[in-house]
Structure 1
């Protein structure tokens, strides 16, 4: 089911990891993160896909960081993949971006707010790449059957679904873990987004808040109920990150959490 070029350790009975910075801020930090996460996942035998957004299109304020330039950021993603022999992923926001990004990465991610955009989902499917669709904060898990079916009806059966919490009031999200087996029953691998599910959106400041101290809690519960993959955004120093600083996991905490997740995976398997 998991068919991604360059994906290592697929013979292990493990979850796969999608991890990297929220946004591509520059080549140095992207390489630092990719090198360290690759070291950790090789040591632990975890299949790893590097993630970085080449552009942040969904921002609360007009002065929020959106990126360093599409082509420059996509070239950095390609360099990461080449240098560390890793598959890579990024999110796309409009139909023309699908073919453009597909030239540089191995998995195309559909943001949660755009999961019902038919033209975008079909364009991603038509590239032949794996399509990872994030569940909208406004949707039930079972409703994701329709987004998934759009990819399959486009002739591409490589589709993943990602849980990232459900809107609770205006400034918080909750995770209903029943959604993981519900979406798995549709026939696709299911990923738990352990950082965005802890966002606190719609703050009066226009800067999204978060609770990164609970990333391990979200991840451990997801593995306990059988999630196929884990998504985490991580950064050497989240406090100075240009996007989602309030949500990312400090890079030096990653190995400890992954080690715990492997133990849980072994126990429930």
Structure 2
């Protein structure tokens, strides 16, 4: 399901309403040239495949394992580049916020406020995001079940905002791995909101002793296919021209050149299951 509030954001795009929607981009704003390359490439692919597309990049990474990890190029600069990229390619844009006082400033530049999984229970953050009137995409905590995300939905709705997405991104399994329980897709859809599958973060291997998060990007296609088969409304995929040199989450991002053949397969699968 592509909700009416997302259809409005994507109204300048030509897409098949029976398709899934895609949220994709690099993990973090590294440079204007990176945003331009990824947004230009993915928007061209999505236009051909008639997939509604939301561009994603974090303007700041507050949740890094090591204190020495890259966090961003500066909030204002990164937000301005996100807005510029969205305007250039006629795309809605999304980024993470990590504290309640980030919501209103970020909402001046972006269309969808994303709540990181480990903050999905923070009431003041959810309420502040809701009060901007923007779409709020809440990632399910790695420590929560799909049914328990009803409380996050309730907080946002009680703050006067019904424009909500929920994103599945795996559940903590052991100490340094995640596992995807696909029951969470229909369970969270039962809350009356569209559900997105995060195909890249669900393959993270967090909390490595090296201080750098690991991942299994070779399984992105597996996660994505299973998500489409189980009825996910949208997909979230972080992608980069060269993940090996990415400044954040390179270990689980999809190489940009692999995105088009993957989406071609997923569009065919979507047609087969609807």
TM-score of the two chains, using structure 2 as the length reference? 0.97
Q: Which residue of 1 aligns with 2:199?
A: 194
Residue number in structure 2 paired with 1:3: 5
1:218 corresponds to: 223
For 2:70 and 2:153, the matched residues in 1 are separated by 31
Q: 2:270 aligns with which of 257, 265, 269?
A: 265
Alignment of 1:84-233 (within 5 A): 84-233=89-238
Are residue 78 (structure 1) and residue 80 (structure 2) matched? no
| Alignment match of 2:63 (pick from 45, 58, 62) | 58
1:27-42 to structure 2, matched below 5 A, reads 27-42=32-47
Partners of 1:89 and 1:249 lie apart in 2 by: 18
Retained in 2: the 8 A contact 1:6–1:85? no
Structure 2 unpaired stretches of 5+: none
Q: Which residue of 2 aligns with 1:22?
A: 27
Q: In the TM superposition, what whole-angstrom CA distance separates every residue of 1:88-129 from its partner, at most 9, and x where no partner exists?
A: 000000111100110001000000000000000000000000
Q: Note the alpha carbon deviations across 1:170-218, whole angstroms, 9 max, x for none.
A: 1000000010000001100000000000000111101000000100100
CA deviation vs aligned residue, 1:220-260 (integer Å, no higher than 9, x gap):
00000000000000000000000001010000000011011
* Alignment TM-score, normalising by the size of structure 1: 0.99
Q: Distance in 2 between matches of 1:9 and 1:62?
A: 43
CA shift, 1:12, in A, is 2.5
C-alpha displacement of 1:6: 3.7
The runs of at least 4 aligned residues of structure 1 exceeding 6 Å deviation read none
